[in-house]
Amino acid sequence: MGLLVDGQWQDKWYDTKSTGGRFKRTTTSYRNWITADGSPGPDGPTAFKAEAERYHLYVSLACPWAHRTLIARKLKKLEDVISLSVVDYHMGEEGWVFSERSGAIPDTVLGKQRLYEVYLEADPRYSGRVTVPVLWDKQTGTIVNNESAEIIRIFNRAFDAWGDASVDLTPEALLGEIDAINATVYGAINNGVYKCGFATTQEAYEAPFHALFATLDQLEARLSNQRYLVDSAAPTEADWRLFTTLIRFDAVYHGHFKCNKRRIADYPNLFGHMLELYQTPGVAETVDFGHIKGHYYASHKTINPTGIVPLGPDQDLTGPHGRERLRPHQ
């Protein structure tokens, strides 16, 4: 995971010396919105206008943050509206790169070989981490947004003229509860596994470890009497934001990130919830364990110097989820 400094690429890992061994995620830098008519978005005076085939999404199949956007694109039926590139799962000295590996899709818009070159196309003096996802505007030749939480909300509303307007991941009446759950899940679970995995002192590892499993325990109890994280008739954004961590947990985070108190398979309700979401039509197509395991185990040399990718675990994600016993709110 490298970065650009004044337009120059540097292969540098996260600096945990200055944070007492704690992993601190950097903030994303492109935060523009797209709206149906180009009217102002939630966080600014201007926005880009939604148009079919104008925008392009760069993702990694390994990255849980990028995975959110792939799922939203799939659920909203935007595959023919938002074009796609997928980077190679291996992150080496040049960061995310494009390749012909199975599952990868080259950069068909700019013809770049490295993702940082896409960032430089938008800003030749860019400084910051080069991350996925990236939402690119073909018309103006710039990055619209590289914050996954905002991209999924853009997809949920802006392109309803072309996609499936019947799917609403953030119903207005539930938005406050969705935001509250998202905040908890992000801090303790989505980012919590990284705080454990990238910690470089025992103290920095143990605090997020305890918070992670305390929160998983709370969600297990919550899902014992309601079908989804928000008591709604269908999964909301909150469920999908949790899902991308749950689906990676037993295969990667449990061992690689030392989050080994329990597996998700040991939580009946969380596991069933994950299975139901995985079995939602189209979602399994967005899950690629070859890319997921290949990235984490082969790319994180500070954690796994040998680069050996474990063959397990064996997981059956096609069996009954049992969640239909809990009637969703009507």
Using the predicted structure, report yes or no on whether residue 327 has a pLDDT greater than 60: yes
% residues pLDDT > 70 (the chain): 96
Query: Which one from 14, 30, 89, 194 is the annotated catalytic residue?
Result: 194
- How many whole angstroms separate alpha carbon 98 and alpha carbon 101? 9
The per-residue pLDDT for 291 is: 98
Q: How confident is the model at residue 81 (pLDDT cuts 50, 70, 90)?
A: very high
What domains can you pick out in the chain, each with its CATH number? 3-157 (3.40.30.10), 172-280+316-325 (1.20.1050.10)
Query: Which one from 14, 30, 63, 267 is the annotated catalytic residue?
Result: 63
The per-residue pLDDT for 24 is: 67
The per-residue pLDDT for 14 is: 64
The per-residue pLDDT for 16 is: 65
Please, what is the average pLDDT of the chain? Answer: 95
124-158 tens-digit pLDDT: 999 999 999 999 999 999 999 999 999 999 999 99
Q: What is the mean pLDDT of residues 76-88?
A: 98
Using the predicted structure, report yes or no on whether residue 23 has a pLDDT greater than 90: no
Using CB atoms within 10 A of its CB, is residue 293 exposed (0-12), middle (13-18) or buried (19+)?
buried
Q: Please, where are the H alpha helices in the chain? A: 64-75, 115-122, 148-157, 175-185, 192-197, 202-222, 237-248, 254-256, 268-278, 289-299
The per-residue pLDDT for 57 is: 98
Using the predicted structure, report yes or no on whether residue 228 has a pLDDT greater than 80: yes
Q: How confident is the model at residue 43 (pLDDT cuts 50, 70, 90)?
A: confident
104-117 tens-digit pLDDT: 999 999 999 999 99
The per-residue pLDDT for 138 is: 98
In the residue annotation, 194 being an active-site residue is answered as yes
The per-residue pLDDT for 22 is: 73
Q: What is the mean pLDDT of residues 53-63?
A: 98
273-321 tens-digit pLDDT: 999 999 999 999 999 999 999 999 999 999 999 999 999 999 999 999 9
The per-residue pLDDT for 19 is: 72
pTM of the model: 0.95
In the residue annotation, 205 being an active-site residue is answered as no
Using the predicted structure, report yes or no on whether residue 208 has a pLDDT greater than 80: yes
The per-residue pLDDT for 12 is: 83
The closest alpha carbon to 34, from 166, 155, 118, 169, belongs to 155
Helix 237-248 to helix 64-75 angle (10° resolution) is: 130
The per-residue pLDDT for 176 is: 98
Using the predicted structure, report yes or no on whether residue 25 has a pLDDT greater than 70: no
**Can you say how many angstroms the Cα of residue 110 is from the centroid of all Cα atoms in its chain?**
23
